[in-house]
């Protein structure tokens, strides 16, 4: 039987990535809650000073871990916005500008989070 692959966007990739990021977020957010809100919070006041001074946010591993969480949140949230718009707009060509715009917003947001988290590395 014929083998066909299409390069035209059909909604498949955003749909699939929404599920994958959703599943990963369950793991990452659970770990985030367990670590910060139960484990660390029991050690004292959970505030900016504590988060920035904790080994998790100051080591490279912790930085990568938190940045993965940030990436998942940004992608999942903005892809959700795209989905809602695509649900309501009948002529999808009218919103072809939306996906590039959301990518720009997403990358900018991700870099901003990365910049602020990196401040913890130098001991703020």
Partner 1 sequence: MATVSVFRFDPELDERGYFDDFHVPDREGQTVLEALFHILEHEDGSIGFRYACRGAVCGSCAMHINGRYRLSCATQMADLGDKVVIRPLYHMPVIRDLVVDMDKFFEKYERLRPWLVNETPLGDKERLQSPEDRAKLDKLVDCILCACCQASCPFTQTDPEYIGPALLLKLDRFYSDSRDLATADRIEAGDTEHGVWRCHTAYNCIEVCPKDLNPTASIARLKGAAIRRQFTGRVE
Q: Which stretch binds partner 1 (CB under 8 A): 26-34, 53-61, 80-88, 110-118?
A: 80-88
Query: Between residues 20 and 30, which has the closer beta carbon with respect to partner 1?
Result: 20
Residue 56 burial (CB < 10 Å; 0-12/13-18/19+)?
middle
The least CB distance from residue 7 to partner 1, in Å, is 10
Helices 98-121 and 60-88: crossing angle in degrees, nearest 10, is: 160
Q: Is 1 in the site for partner 1 (CB under 8 A)?
A: yes
Q: Which of residues 29-68 bind partner 1 (CB under 8 A)?
A: none
Q: How big is the chain by its Cα radius of gyration, in Å? A: 19
Q: Three-state DSSP class for 1?
A: coil
Q: Which stretch binds partner 1 (CB under 8 A): 3-11, 26-34, 35-43, 103-111?
A: 3-11
Q: Three-state DSSP class for 85?
A: helix
The least CB distance from residue 75 to partner 1, in Å, is 17
């Amino acid at each position: 039987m014929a083998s066909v692959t299409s390069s035209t966007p059909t909604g498949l990739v955003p749909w699939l990535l929404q599920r994958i990021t959703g599943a990963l977020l369950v793991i990452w957010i659970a770990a985030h809650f367990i670590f910060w809100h139960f484990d660390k919070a029991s050690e004292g006041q959970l505030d900016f000073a504590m988060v920035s001074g904790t080994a998790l946010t100051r080591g490279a591993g912790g930085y990568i871990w938190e940045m993965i969480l940030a990436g998942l949140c940004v992608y999942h949230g903005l892809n959700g916005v795209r989905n809602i718009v695509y649900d309501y707009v009948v002529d999808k060509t009218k919103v072809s500008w939306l996906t590039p715009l959301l990518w720009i917003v997403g990358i900018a947001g991700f870099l901003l989070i990365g910049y602020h988290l990196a401040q913890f590395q130098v001991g703020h």
